[in-house]
Structure 1
Amino acid sequence: MRMSRDSKYLDYIAVAVSILVIVVCLLPMLNLLARSLSDSEYLVRGEVGLWPKGLNFEAYRLVLEDTKYTWAFVWTVIITAAGTMLSLFMTAICAYPLTYDHLKGRSVIMSLILFTMYFNAGTIPMYLLLKDIRLLNHPLVLIVPYCLSVFNIILMRNYFYTIPTSLRESAEMDGANPVRILVSIYLPLSLPIIATLALFYAVGRWNTYSDALMFMNKREFYPISLLLYFLIQSVSEVETYSLEGNIPLGLSESLKAAAVMFATVPILLVYPWLQRYFIQGVTLGSIKE
């Protein structure tokens, strides 16, 4: 009875902490939504909290009518989808061979991979490399570089370890080659870790702007996050990046909030579809059997 009572109290504490975390995470989003839907005069006076005042959709109209934002949104979807698929492919083909105990030099290869996790050449050598291979200002510069994460390789490799080796040995006895085993056995049994890493890669691709800022000068290939970066910079100077001329300060703040909501909500909607795989993928992928 005492253990049951203590357990119940711990459950109450866990629920209370979870509710507190949810509220802390939701409050900024609610304030941002309220600011994007509020009339400019209330924003100027600083009267907008968690509920919009003077309901106004002008900021969303400006964002949706501006082709810079709509094309940047479409382009960001493209590079996110292409980059995520490429990253998952590269992660799988790097992690899978490391599960073979008889792979010659496996420990050396793994050590070199881990070395790159802690040490890298930096931005300037990367810039010079991309310049030499003629990727600067090319759309692929937003997809190919940084398509592989050492941490995600380790997660996928450890998840592959949880798959019984007897399945692989049976397939080898039936004449299946390593590629066939990967495609027919390992990948279908690894949906949790694939979905988890897809979420990691997609969120990273969607939110990144530093790559485009450093390696891309063509504005038609700017992702939505970089446009938001310029928008926030220009709003601080009381003018917008997407429209010529100046607009009132209140509408500038509302436009900034609407643009952030426009870019944030789509990637937030991806998480519920992958939630059921998330915990299982991270848990099993972080522990070697």
Structure 2
Amino acid sequence: MLAGVRETKRDKLFLFCNTLYVLIAFLIVFYPVVYMVSASISNPKLVASGEMWLWPRDITFDGYKRVFANSNIWVGYTNTLIYTIVGTAINLLVTLPAAYALSRKDFVGRHFFTGMFMVTMFFGGGLVPTYLLVKQLGMIDTMWAIVIPSAASIWNIIVSRTFFQSSIPRELQEAALIDGASNIKLFVRIILPLSMPIIAVMALFYGVGNWNSYFSALIYLNDAAKYPLQLVLRQILVLQEMGAQGGGAIDASTAAAMNTKAEIAALVRYAVIIVATLPIILIYPFLQRYFVQGVMIGSIKG
């Protein structure tokens, strides 16, 4: 509260409820993260029995050893890094110029193009026509099948357009044009340096999407050497589950072996989750400041 402003009972009640709500929301988000980390390094028997419910017990790194011993993990990491970096670069190269063009009031037909873009948010050709198009373009089993079809998000273009409209002074653009700057020079030398918040937000949005993407790879890639990390981890989980399930008639020793496999599968599952999400968790704090600015600044006129 501001200095000198007296809090009423309703203000105190609101602050109490707000603090309680934030605390509950924090616990709801925090507990699964701590549980996954603890489960990935705890004895799987204690995890399965429920004895481990928060902090790690009987610590073991066998799950991580099994995950990283698989050479396909490193191949998947390399592929995912390439797909994420190249894909995010293409996303920004398409999204930012399109958003800036649509934000310019002197762009003839901007309302028409905006409407046409928005139509694609609600209607699409479907999976089969998209696959046939990618195949005819010769992109099957290549990196381009992963990054080109998802080169732009209409929602992100609209968000970026709003940022340019509300945050970049029109007078600044007009002054640059009067001084002889071309539209390209204006965009590269003036607009982009002033747009770091929205660039960071778009990079984060697209980067997380590209990092977690697996469906496009599942559809368009046939060569296992080109699989991204998410698809490699999916294969590991499927194989672990199949190995744990077994089949046919079983005796006591077989049942014990299957139970051990099931425990190992559970341990590997948690380790796989941490391996897949840790890079994004580590990167986000460095972009959080720009993320908040980019989301909020476009909502304020002034």
Q: Under a length normalisation based on structure 2, what TM-score does the superposition of the two structures give?
A: 0.88
Worse-superposed segment, 101-110 or 251-260: 101-110
**1:32-51 superposed matches below 5 A:** 32-51=36-55
Kept after mapping to 1: 8 A contact 2:73/2:233 = no
Which structure has the larger Rg over C-alpha atoms?
A: 2
The reply to whether residue 149 of structure 1 matches residue 162 of structure 2 is no
Deviation per CA, 1:79-132: give whole Å up to 9, x if none: 112111111111011111112222222221111111111111111111000000
Give, in whole Å, the separation in 1 of the partners of 2:197 and 2:181: 24
- Partner in structure 2 of residue 274 of structure 1: 287
Match of 2:57 among 50, 53, 57: 53
- Partner in structure 1 of residue 15 of structure 2: 11
Deviation, 1:203, is 0.9
- Partner in structure 1 of residue 69 of structure 2: 65
Question: Cα distance 1:87–1:219, how it changes in 2: closer, same or farther (>3 A)?
Answer: same
Kept after mapping to 1: 8 A contact 2:229/2:276 = yes
The reply to whether residue 135 of structure 1 matches residue 139 of structure 2 is yes
Indicate the SS of the match to 2:140: coil
Worse-superposed segment, 2-11 or 144-153: 2-11
- Partner in structure 1 of residue 189 of structure 2: 184
The reply to whether residue 174 of structure 1 matches residue 174 of structure 2 is no
Worse-superposed segment, 171-180 or 11-20: 11-20
Kept after mapping to 1: 8 A contact 2:47/2:53 = no
Kept after mapping to 2: 8 A contact 1:157/1:285 = no
Deviation per CA, 1:232-271: give whole Å up to 9, x if none: 333332359xxxxx97221111011111101111111111
**Aligned residue identity for 2:49:** R
Give, in whole Å, the separation in 2 of the partners of 1:212 and 1:288: 42
Give, in whole Å, the separation in 2 of the partners of 1:100 and 1:271: 31
The reply to whether residue 284 of structure 1 matches residue 284 of structure 2 is no
Deviation, 1:205, is 0.8
Deviation, 1:171, is 0.5
The reply to whether residue 254 of structure 1 matches residue 264 of structure 2 is no
Kept after mapping to 2: 8 A contact 1:192/1:281 = yes
**Aligned residue identity for 1:263:** A
- Partner in structure 1 of residue 94 of structure 2: 90
**Aligned residue identity for 1:152:** N
Give, in whole Å, the separation in 1 of the partners of 2:229 and 2:244: 18
**1:217-232 superposed matches below 5 A:** 217-232=222-237
Indicate the SS of the match to 2:79: helix
Match of 2:203 among 175, 198, 204: 198
Kept after mapping to 2: 8 A contact 1:161/1:288 = no
- Partner in structure 2 of residue 264 of structure 1: 277
Kept after mapping to 1: 8 A contact 2:83/2:147 = yes
Note the aligned Cα RMSD (angstroms). 2.1
Deviation per CA, 1:157-181: give whole Å up to 9, x if none: 1111121111111100111001111
- Partner in structure 1 of residue 107 of structure 2: 103
**Aligned residue identity for 2:10:** D
Indicate the SS of the match to 1:101: coil
**Aligned residue identity for 2:23:** I
**1:201-216 superposed matches below 5 A:** 201-216=206-221
- Partner in structure 2 of residue 121 of structure 1: 125
Q: Which runs of 5 or more structure 1 residues have no equivalent in the other structure? A: 241-245
Deviation, 1:34, is 1.6
Give, in whole Å, the separation in 1 of the partners of 2:46 and 2:93: 50
Q: Under a length normalisation based on structure 1, what TM-score does the superposition of the two structures give?
A: 0.92
Matched residues, number = 285
**Aligned residue identity for 2:280:** I
**Aligned residue identity for 2:230:** S
